[in-house]
Amino acid sequence: MLATVLLLIILFSLWIGFYLLVKQQGRILLRLDVLEQNAKGAATEHLDAGEEAEPEGLAVATDFPPFKFPDLAGKVVALEDFRGKRVLLVNWNFECGFCESIAPDLASFETSLQKANVALVLLAHGDAASNQKGAAEHGLKCPILLMEDGETPKPFSHRGTPVAYLLDEERRVDAPFASGADRVLGLVRAMVGSSMDPAPVSTAGPIAVREVGPNGVRPEHPEALRQAQAPGRHRVKLPGFIVRGEIGLGDAIKRLTSAFGIKPCVGCERRAALLNRWLSFSGATGDGLKAGIRAPVFQLPDLQGRMVTLEEYRGRRVLLVFTDPQCGPCDELAPHLVRLHREHEKNGLAIILVGRGKAEENRRKAEQHGFEFPVVTQPKWKLSKEYGTFATPVAFLIGEDGVIANDVAVGRDPILALARAGARQKEG
C-alpha cells in the first residue's frame, strides 16, 4: 500500500513538473515555430518559378472525387453518405505492417473522433474475410470499404499505405495530405486534440469565420494541424515492441495513470495535449536493425515444408532478403538473385529469401524465376518486425558470426551492392 502511494506521488510530481516546464517555455517554443515558418516562407520566395516543388497530394479546398464501395457486410456506401461530417479517409491494407502498427491506436481514438464529428473511414485492399479478421483483431469498428483492383480513387492511386486525407463537411480536402503511419496518426491526434480546445476568438469581430488560410490550414487549430503534418520537434525512438506507432508524452502519462484508476480532468486533458506537442515517443520499426547487432534467429518452413533455421548457416555469410510476391521491385530483383546465387554459392555467400503471404503465391514466383536457394515464408510480418522493417525488397548481410555486417539495403541496386560487397569480403 505504501509503495502504491509513493508511486502515485512520484507520478503526480512528474506531471506537475512537466506542466510547469511547458508553461514556462511554451511561448519560447511557439515563437521558435513562428520564426521557423517565416524562414521557410522567405526561402520559398527566393525560389525561381521553375524550382518550386508541387505540393504532395490534392490541394486544400479541392473537392475529393466521389466514390461508392461495398462495406464488409456488402452494403454499398458512398462518400456522399458522410455529408455533414468531417471524414478522415485512409488508404488501408491489413497486410501492410505500417497499417498494422497504428491499428490499435486508431481503434482507441474512434470514440473521440465520433465526438469531434469526424468519421474515420478505411478504404481497404483485400477481401471481406481478411478485413473482418483484421478489424476484429485490433478492435476497429469504423466503416471499412472494399476497393476492387483498378477502382482506387485517383488521389490514392500509386500511393502506399497508410496515407490519408481529411475532408470537410462538404467533401473538400481540409488539411495537407498525410503520408505514412506517423503523419496519419498525428492527423488523428490533431483532430482529437482540437475537439478539446475552446472556440477561438476572432480579432476581426464577434463571429469567428471558418475559412481556409493562405497556408492551407484552418485558422481554428493551425498549430495542431501543423504538428500533424511534420515530425515532432522533440521525438524519442524506442524499440518497436515497447511503442507501437507513435504516442505523445501526455497520452503516455494518461495511460499510466488510468491504469491506477485515476480519471483525467479537463485541465489534465489540456496539459496532456501540450505535452504531446512537446515530446513524443515512436517505435523504431521502419529503419531496420543496424550493423553490429546480432541477427534475430528464426525457424521457418521453406516451400517444400522443411524447416530452415539461421543457425544452420553459422560460419557462412548470409544475404537475407525480404520480399513479397505482389511486389514489383521484388520481381525486378529476382533474376539478379538467381545470378548471384550461381556465381557465389560455392564461396560461402548464401541467399535466403523470406516471402510474405501464402506459400502457393511464393511457390509460383519461385518457379517463375527459377530460384535455387531457400525460400521461406513468414506469418504476417513476424520476422520483418524482428528485423525492424516492413519494406520490400530489403536485405541484411549477416556475417559468419551471426552478427549483421551492414545496415539494411532497400531496393534492387542497394541490395545488389550489398551482395557484391559480401562476396568480396569472403573472397578477401
Q: For the segment 82-101, what is each residue's pLDDT rounded down to a tens digit?
A: 989 999 999 999 888 888 88
Where is pLDDT greater, at 348 or 412?
412
Confidence band for 265, pLDDT divided at 50, 70 and 90 = low
Q: Please, are residues 128 and 72 in contact by the beta-carbon 8 Å criterion?
A: yes
Closest to 242 (Cα-Cα) out of 229, 252, 232:
252
Mean pLDDT, residues 331-353 taken together: 90
Confidence band for 227, pLDDT divided at 50, 70 and 90 = very low
- The confidence score (pLDDT) of residue 242 equals 54
Query: What string of DSSP letters covers 148-211?
Result: PTT-S-GGGTT--SSEEEEE-TTSBB-S--EESHHHHHHHHHHHHHHTTSPPPPPSSSSS----
| CA 409 to centroid of chain Cα atoms | 19
- The confidence score (pLDDT) of residue 245 equals 56
Reported as a single tens digit per residue, the pLDDT across 128-139 is: 999 999 999 899
Q: Which domains does the chain have, with CATH numbers?
A: 55-245 (3.40.30.10), 299-427 (3.40.30.10)
